[in-house]
């Protein structure tokens, strides 16, 4: 195994800083790997390539969270077209309107301050 000079999380965050949603690809397994890591969870290989997602996906699961202080929001599992799944939220729609099977597209959320940007999603317009 070769030495890793930069952590996978740092590389992932660098892609997000540029407005891109990146994931890793395992040539040995022939499938996407996410959350970024040093070793392929399917084969144990350290041969992982970085790729950039087209940003399109489908809501796999969703729930609405009702915090004591603040407005309700959704938490969703998104199946990306490239074959990986991530937890996020769907914005620009009421939390209760997010449905399993809904097509969504990636958008970068920049909270500001010292917080790093992170991926969120918006509904994909019909016919888009």
Q: Is the same domain home to 113 and 63?
A: yes
Q: What is the reported pTM?
A: 0.87
Tell whether 128 is covered by a domain: no
Q: Is the same domain home to 63 and 113?
A: yes
Residue with tokens 């084969």: 43
Tell whether 35 is covered by a domain: yes
| Average of per-residue pLDDT across 32-45 | 94
Check whether 22 has a pLDDT greater than 60.
yes
Check whether 125 has a pLDDT greater than 60.
yes
Q: How confident is the model at residue 2 (pLDDT cuts 50, 70, 90)?
A: low
Tell whether 48 is covered by a domain: yes
Tell whether 20 is covered by a domain: yes
Assess contact for 61 and 76: CB atoms under 8 A.
yes
Residue 114's domain comprises: 56-123
| Average of per-residue pLDDT across 51-59 | 97
Q: Is the same domain home to 36 and 89?
A: no
Q: Is the same domain home to 32 and 64?
A: no
Q: Is the same domain home to 70 and 33?
A: no
Provide, rounded to the nearest whole percent, the portion of the chain with pLDDT above 70: 95
Q: What is the per-residue pLDDT across 67-80, written as a single tens digit (0 to 9) for each?
A: 999 999 999 999 99
| Domain tally, the chain | 2
Check whether 53 has a pLDDT greater than 60.
yes
Q: Annotate the chain with three-state secondary structure.
A: CCCCCCCHHHHHHHHHHCCCCEEEEECCCCEEECCCCCCCCCCCCCCCEEEECCCEEEEEEEEEECCCCCCCEEEEEEEECCCCEEEECECCCCHHHCCCCCEEEEEEECCCCCCCCEEEEEECCCCC
Separation CA 12–CA 50 (nearest Å): 9
Q: Is the same domain home to 89 and 114?
A: yes
């Amino acid at each position: 195994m070769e030495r890793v000079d930069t952590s996978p999380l740092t590389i992932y965050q660098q892609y997000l800083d540029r407005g891109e949603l990146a994931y890793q690809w395992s040539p040995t397994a022939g499938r996407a790997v996410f959350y970024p890591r040093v070793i392929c969870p399917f084969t144990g290989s350290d041969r992982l390539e970085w790729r950039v997602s087209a940003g399109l996906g489908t809501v796999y699961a969703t729930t609405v969270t009702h915090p004591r202080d603040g407005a309700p929001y959704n938490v969703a599992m998104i199946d990306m077209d490239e074959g990986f799944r991530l937890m996020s939220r769907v914005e620009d729609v009421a939390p209760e309107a997010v449905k399993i099977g809904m097509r969504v597209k990636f958008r970068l959320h920049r909270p500001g301050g010292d917080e790093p940007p992170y991926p969120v999603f918006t509904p994909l317009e019909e016919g888009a």
